[in-house]
Structure 1
Amino acid sequence: MVVASNRGPVSFERDDDGKLVPHRGSGGLVTVLGGVLERDDATWVAAAVTEGDREVAPRGRRVEGAAQRVRYVDIPEQVYDGYYNGIANGVLWFVHHYLWDIARTPSFGEQTEQEWTDYVEANRAFARALAVEAKHDPVFLIQDYHLTLVPRMLRELVPEARILHFSHTPFAGRTYLRTLPDDMRRSILRGMLGADVVGFQGRQWGENFLLSVRELDGVHVDIRAHRAEVDGREVQVRSFPVAVGAQEIREAAASDRAKRARTQVEKIRGDRKLLLRVDRLEPSKNILRGFLAFELLLQKHPGWRGRVVFLALLSPSREEVPAYRDYGADCRATADRINAAFGKEDWDPIVVKVQENFTYAVAAYDQYDAMLVNPVHDGMNLVAMEGPVLNSRGGSLILSRNAGAFGRLGRHALAINPFDLSETAEAIHEALEMPEEERTRRARGLQRSALAHTPATWLAGQLRAIDEVRAPAP
């Protein structure tokens, strides 16, 4: 098995003694796949990000404590910037999460053309690196919007390769996808069709993909059967909702660091109710509207003033992209304004911590009375599942209908339209005053649903799908 993703399971840096030392990679993909790929025939191909990664790149390296091997693709720095910051995060993330202020953005020009050239070059470098691994006839698992062109490029290099492309994000509807330059849009769609199986977190994203693919020349689409035919091949489009790694987060929650962090969280909450959010600091997570909804709660239900604290644990994200930096500044400024308007000497309504600290997050999961997960759109959202697994207070979940996790958790959560501040404020109010019996019932349902699947079963479903497509006809 060969996995390809922008970021790998580890990154290498030299310590004070000059020794190359691996550090665990961040992000949901590593959390989900890291534990299930500890097998002799697993290789993880990723972009070299650190100087240590580039030193390892020519030869690959075993991951310490696991059987898997990691191999790095050394992409020139300027090319990587255009591929990663310019197209992947500056264009594709925005289109698939419906984030543009469409009257003003996007406006594509010469800079976009150069960044698209960089994106193509980076994807080609990945395809070449993967082709080297093809001698063992592996299954190739290509991950996410960074590498949409790789399946077709790899297919051209290794025609008989077994390939799955999986999108962890939503996939934009065909009308919104048409905001992309035509050549870019068609290249992305045809690139993904190079796979045997194209996977998404939910069925609706797969249907969006097929509706766009149907507009391409030479492609036959059967929406009901969830498949397409291109170049004489069948391509299956399936949904594989990702699962939470319960063992890993429970081990993290039991650590000494987590116990110390739990003491800090308890100090922040005091004798008040705790409303929690855990997110990357970026626009799709809808942090700003969450703060505004909390402000509306304090205005409409003044009895909560001094009786609830909103703890926002936010990890820095893609600060090289101006829109992300500006959004982070707006979030901080809004929290400061609300604290100035409503705060007291012994109470800050909103406590914002911007840090990369998973241990602190799992400590906070244990303590919340209500958790707000209100993305504008999200492929899945692991936070919505991690929290109920660890929470010990019968905490309620306020969940956006546009999160992929809603399909799994929605009937036990308080559902909200992520754009509706009034509805969100009332849902927070309902969550905080919910009777204990109902809280307990909902919390148990959330935990059961979150634990119904594992990363191993998620991966096994994808491998079965490839086997079914490639099985010889009877």
Structure 2
Amino acid sequence: FADALAPLIQPDDLVWVHDYHLMPLAQELRRRGVKNRIGFFLHIPWPARRLLATLPNHRELVEALFEFDLLGFQTEDSASAFEDYVTGELGGTVTPDRRAHAFGRTAQVGAFPIGLDVETFEASAQDEVAQAEFERMQASLSGRAMIVGVDRLDYSKGLEERFLAYEQALIDHEELREQVFLLQIATPSREEVGAYQDIRARLDAVTGRINGAFATVDWVPIRYVNRAYRRDELAGVYRAAKIGLVTPLRDGMNLVAKEYVAAQDPEDPGVLILSEFAGASEQMRQALIVNPFNREEVAEAIVQGLNMPKAERIARWTELMADLKRTDVMAWRDAFVAALRGDDAASDRLAAS
């Protein structure tokens, strides 16, 4: 990457590097003489200090990061975890304006929660494809409420825990049976990796067991789909769902939560149930925030969401949507670029956070 990129960089360019697989890139660019300001943004969570320290090469990885001028994280939790590693593991320092010092270098630290392209997504939610998908889902409801989950097929997404929590809701609340179903869209990923084959086999087994225990001749409690859908198709599915169930065990942000909110009918919106371990939970406090490891808590949130009065649903959605627009993807871009340039206003904002 450095060999390909270095000859293209002009003297006044800013370089913005994304995600964990390119953590050493600034170090390699510096070795090739690049003096430009270089920023790094991590899309996944930064682990707790003692967890990171179990990696044999943890110091080398973090030393490479200190060749960046700006280190951006999705959440305040991740930014603070990085600062804790600097002070607790490296013996470095972090100033009140969030300048981390270690390895003889200084890097600015900040939290920059990534946003949704709200305007574009809203437009796609109104197009013919989305409307057709919405009408198709409406016809398939047969008067029942739909809960939707949309995730990459990955062990971090908590799908097995989600299915078991939904089963718990059916056990505890018999009145839900035949009145609700869960549509889980799980897009296959890394299918050649053994761990992903295992999770797919487990989910197939759990789905089969739950459907076998509760299904009737005209009702299946879980519709489990392993294929990818376009964003405009998903927008129509989201809009038809009474509940968006977004319960990863760990996630940097999770834009599905934001897409679900953006796709809703303002006059009759659905309810977002969101894991406290998704980065989005720091912003989306009007969702029903749950611990995905607590089966009973998620089950009760499902019941609460299904029974929530329209006025409360509208009030929660209104606040969520206003925040989505205020912190959209353009605001995220502008905040990071301003901080990478070293703008005073951006530095003040980082220090305040």
What TM-score do you get using the length of structure 1 for normalisation? 0.69
2:273 equivalent to 1:401: no
Q: In the TM superposition, what is the alpha-carbon distance from 1:261 to its structure 2 partner?
A: 2.0
Among 180, 192, 205, the residue aligned to 2:65: 192
Measure, in 1, the Cα distance between the counterparts of 2:123 and 2:342.
Answer: 36
Matched, 1:284 2:156: yes
**Which residue of the partner structure matches residue 245 of structure 2?**
372
Shift, 1:305, TM fit = 0.2
Query: Which of 128, 138, 141 is the aligned partner of 1:256?
Result: 128
Query: The residue matched to 1:451 in structure 2 has which SS?
Result: helix
Counterparts in 2 of 1:325-364, with a 5 A limit?
A: 325-358=197-230, 359-364=232-237
Do structure 1's residue 293 and structure 2's residue 293 form an aligned pair? no
Does structure 2 conserve the Cα–Cα contact (< 8 Å) formed by 1:291 and 1:334? yes
Q: Distance in 1 between matches of 2:328 and 2:289?
A: 24
Which residue identity lines up with residue 289 of structure 1 in the other structure?
A: E
Q: Is 2:46–2:82's contact at 8 Å kept on the other side of the alignment? A: yes
Q: 1:76 corresponds to which residue?
A: none
Are 2:6 and 1:134 aligned? Answer: no
Deviation at 1:193, TM superposition (A): 1.3
Partner of 2:219: helix, strand, or coil? Answer: coil
SS of equivalent to 1:164? strand
Tell me, what secondary structure is at the counterpart of 2:293? coil
List per-residue Cα deviations over 1:30-67 (Å, max 9, x = no partner): xxxxxxxxxxxxxxxxxxxxxxxxxxxxxxxxxxxxxx
Does 347-356 or 251-260 show the bigger shift? 251-260
- Whether contact under 8 Å (2:116, 2:324) holds in the other structure is yes
Q: Does 1:424 pair with 2:298?
A: yes
Letter in 1 for 2:202: D
Aligned-partner residue type, residue 376 of structure 1: L
Note the C-alpha offset of 1:159.
4.1
Aligned residue for 2:342, secondary structure, equals: helix
Q: CA contact under 8 A between 2:124 and 2:235: conserved in structure 1?
A: yes
Deviations 1:127-146 (A, max 9, x none): 22221222353111110011
Partners in 1 of 2:343 and 2:59 — Cα distance? 24
CA distance in 1, matches of 2:303, 2:235: 24
CA distance in 1, matches of 2:324, 2:205: 34
- What corresponds to 2:259 in structure 1? 386
Within 1, Cα distance between the matches of 2:278 and 2:89? 29
Structure 1 residues 267 and 236 mapped into 2: Cα distance closer, same or farther (>3 Å)? same
Hey, what's the Cα distance between the residues in 1 that align with 2:73 and 2:216? Answer: 46
Task: Report the 3-state secondary structure (helix = DSSP H, G, I; strand = E; otherwise coil) of the residue aligned with 2:189.
Answer: coil
1:448 CA drift (Å): 1.4
Offset of 1:469 from its aligned partner? 7.3
SS at match of 2:110: strand
Letter in structure 1 aligned against 2:121: I
After superposition, what is the alpha-carbon deviation per residue over 1:205-257, rounded to whole angstroms, capped at 9, x for unaligned?
1121122233566x732164322224654210101011101122223223333
* Cα displacement string for residues 1-51 of structure 1 (whole angstroms, at most 9, x for unaligned residues): xxxxxxxxxxxxxxxxxxxxxxxxxxxxxxxxxxxxxxxxxxxxxxxxxxx
1:202 is aligned to 2:75: yes
CA contact (8 A) 2:188 2:226 kept: yes
Which residue number in structure 2 is paired with residue 464 of structure 1? 338
Q: Are residues 236 and 262 of structure 1, via their aligned partners in 2, closer, same or farther at CA, if it must alter by over 3 Å?
A: same
In the alignment, which residue of structure 2 is the partner of 1:267? 139
Find the counterpart in structure 2 of residue 311 from structure 1. 183
SS in 1 for 2:240: coil
Contact 1:313 1:361 in 2 (8 A): no
**Where does structure 2 lack aligned partners over 5 or more consecutive residues?**
346-353
Count residues with an aligned counterpart: 342
- Residues 52-97 of structure 1 deviation map (CA, whole Å, 9 limit, x = unaligned): xxxxxxxxxxxxxxxxxxxxxxxxxxxxxxxxxxxxxxxxxxxxxx
Could you tell me which residue of structure 1 aligns to residue 351 of structure 2? Answer: none
Distance 1:187 1:319 in 2: 31
**C-alpha separation in 1, matches of 2:177 and 2:306:** 13
Query: Retained in 1: the 8 A contact 2:6–2:34?
Result: no
| Pairing 1:50-61 to 2, within 5 Å after superposition | none
Q: CA deviation at 1:385?
A: 0.9
Alignment map for 1:59-208 (pairs within 5 Å): 126-181=1-56, 184-208=57-81
Give the secondary structure class of the aligned counterpart of 2:336. Answer: helix
Gap change, CA 1:240 and 1:280, over 3 Å in 2: same
One-letter amino acid of the structure 2 residue matched with residue 191 of structure 1:
A
Higher RCO (C-alpha 8 Å, min separation 6): 2
Shift of 1:302: 0.4
SS at match of 1:345: coil
- Gaps of at least 5 residues in structure 1 are 1-125
Listed one character per residue, the Cα deviations across residues 232-287 of structure 1 (whole Å, up to 9, x for unaligned) are: 54210101011101122223223333233223322332201111111111111111
Q: CA RMSD in A?
A: 1.9
Closer, same or farther in 2 for the Cα pair 1:230/1:128, shift >3 Å? farther
1:312 match: secondary structure: strand
CA distance in 1, matches of 2:3, 2:196: 32
1:272–1:306 Cα contact (<8 Å) kept = yes
Q: Percent same amino acid at aligned positions? A: 34
